[in-house]
């Protein structure tokens, strides 16, 4: 097998030093290294990632993409395929810090509202003793916990929380709560599956932040970005894939009748609006005139409509002629 080229090394170096990389940033690095746009050279982009992953497999590493479930953005990073949380956190964090992270992880994924986040107060109240396994199951196991666990103070929790957010294992959500970070979404895919975290019916990835079926007896969950993709078609059925119950719309999601009155692709909205407005004005003037002159001189309805239409056309032609004359005068002044 041919060795990796400097282009492959450039991508790897960018990921190792700046990981995780957002989708636009990663594609920009690829374009700079290969002198090719990934949008128009998708096969080359895929082959590049495949070759990198073949070499990384010897080290049990993988170049992987994930979606941040809080903002729907795609991120790329190099992850460790060994399925244990401690190895993924590496050697930077101490034993009590790792236990604290595991406690936060469980609290976030078990959050009852499917919001995938907890408050800062709840985060600081996470207990560490539940994350330490004592081989001897005697009743006195609590007293034999390591002192580093029992003495882990509130100040140490606050400091660790800040470090986990800075390293993107955790993150602040748009509501100011504590949620998982992009590195957790990248590295903990196997952990999510091994702990029976409910998966999305559309993409089959773990549902940390997702919407639930309104039917209490149905367990279907769908990510918000998957929901937008699945129900994006105007005529698409909004029935739950599991039970058929109509899926509720998200805040700000357009309804079927939102653009009924919008002009078509070949129509000019401003021109049509002005034309309709002008016709209404002409009709109103004619009606008022008829009312003032009395029934004996009233104009028949058919003639009224024809007159209104004729005046509207004449007004449009005058506006067009005025615009053309203005353009001609402007052109002559420029020539002079």
Q: What is the CATH number of the domain that holds 157?
A: 1.10.10.10
Q: Are residues 108 and 181 both part of a single domain?
A: yes
Q: Is the per-residue pLDDT at 275 higher than 50?
A: no
Q: Are residues 186 and 209 both part of a single domain?
A: no
Q: Are residues 25 and 58 both part of a single domain?
A: yes
Going by pLDDT thresholds of 50, 70 and 90, the confidence category of residue 299 is very low
Determine the pLDDT at residue 227: 83
The answer to the question of residue 326 being in a domain is no
Determine the pLDDT at residue 296: 43
Determine the pLDDT at residue 77: 92
Q: What is the value of pTM for the model shown?
A: 0.66
The answer to the question of residue 239 being in a domain is yes
Domain end call among 213, 246, 279: 246
The answer to the question of residue 334 being in a domain is no
Q: Average pLDDT over the chain, rounded to whole? A: 76
The answer to the question of residue 11 being in a domain is yes
CATH assignment at residue 215: 3.30.40
- Written in H, E and C, the secondary structure of the chain is CCCCCHHHHHHHHHHHHHCCEEHHHHHHHHHHHHCCCCCCCHHHHHHHHHHHHHHHHHHCEEEEEEECCCCCCEEEEEEECCCCHHHHHCCCCCHHHHHHHHHHHHHHHCCCCCCCEECHHHHHCCCCHHHCCCCCCCHHHHHHCCHHHHCCCHHHHHHHHHHHHHCCCEEECCCCCEEECHHHHHHCHHHHHHCCCCECCCCCCECCCCEECCCCCCCCEECHHHHHHHCCCCCCCCECCCCCCECCCCCCCCCCCCCCCCCCCCCCHHHHHHHHHHHHHHHHHHHHHHHHHCHHHCCCHHHHHHHHHHHHHHHHHHHHHHHHHHHHHHHHHHHC
Going by pLDDT thresholds of 50, 70 and 90, the confidence category of residue 22 is very high
Determine the pLDDT at residue 66: 92
The answer to the question of residue 171 being in a domain is yes
Determine the pLDDT at residue 212: 84
Determine the pLDDT at residue 149: 85
Going by pLDDT thresholds of 50, 70 and 90, the confidence category of residue 335 is very low
Q: Are residues 24 and 62 both part of a single domain?
A: yes
For the stretch 101-135, pLDDT in tens is 999 999 998 876 678 899 999 999 998 877 766 55
For the stretch 203-241, pLDDT in tens is 888 889 888 888 888 888 888 888 888 777 666 677 888
Of residues 24 and 145, more confidence is placed in 24
| Mean pLDDT computed over 299-305 | 46
Determine the pLDDT at residue 108: 92
The answer to the question of residue 59 being in a domain is yes
Domain that holds residue 14: 6-80
The answer to the question of residue 319 being in a domain is no
Q: Are residues 187 and 206 both part of a single domain?
A: no
Q: Are residues 99 and 183 both part of a single domain?
A: yes
For the stretch 40-54, pLDDT in tens is 888 999 999 999 999
Domain end call among 155, 178, 195: 195
For the stretch 174-183, pLDDT in tens is 889 999 999 9
Domain count, the chain: 3
The answer to the question of residue 22 being in a domain is yes
Domain end call among 173, 195, 217: 195
């Amino acid at each position: 097998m041919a060795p990796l080229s400097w282009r492959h090394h450039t991508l790897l170096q960018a990921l190792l030093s700046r990981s995780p990389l957002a989708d636009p940033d990663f594609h920009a690095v690829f374009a700079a290294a290969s002198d090719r746009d990934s949008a128009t050279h998708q096969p080359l982009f895929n082959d590049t990632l495949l070759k990198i992953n073949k070499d990384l497999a010897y080290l049990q590493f993988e170049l992987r993409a994930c979606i941040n479930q809080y903002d729907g953005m795609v991120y790329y990073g190099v992850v460790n395929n060994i399925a244990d949380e401690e190895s993924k956190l590496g050697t930077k964090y101490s034993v009590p810090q790792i236990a604290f992270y595991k406690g936060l992880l469980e609290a976030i994924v078990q959050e009852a509202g499917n919001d995938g986040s907890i408050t800062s107060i709840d985060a600081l109240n996470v207990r560490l003793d539940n994350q330490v396994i004592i081989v001897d199951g005697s009743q006195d196991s609590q007293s034999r916990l390591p002192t580093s666990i029992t003495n882990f103070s509130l100040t140490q929790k606050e400091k660790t929380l800040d470090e986990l957010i800075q390293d993107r294992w955790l993150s602040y959500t748009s509501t100011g709560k504590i949620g998982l970070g992009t590195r957790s979404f990248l590295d903990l895919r196997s952990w999510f599956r091994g702990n029976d975290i409910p998966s999305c019916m559309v993409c089959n990835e773990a549902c940390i932040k997702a919407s639930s079926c309104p039917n209490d007896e149905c367990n279907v969950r769908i990510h918000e970005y998957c929901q937008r993709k699945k129900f994006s078609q105007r005529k698409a059925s909004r029935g739950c894939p599991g039970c058929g119950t109509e899926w509720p719309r998200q805040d700000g999601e357009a309804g079927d009748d939102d653009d009924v009155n919008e002009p078509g692709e070949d129509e000019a909205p401003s021109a049509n609006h002005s034309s309709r407005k002008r016709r209404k004005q002409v009709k109103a003037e004619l009606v008022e005139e008829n009312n003032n002159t009395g029934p004996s001189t009233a104009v028949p309805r058919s003639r009224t409509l024809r007159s209104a239409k004729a005046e509207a056309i004449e007004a449009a032609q005058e506006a067009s002629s005025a615009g053309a004359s203005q353009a001609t005068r402007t052109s002559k002044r420029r020539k002079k």
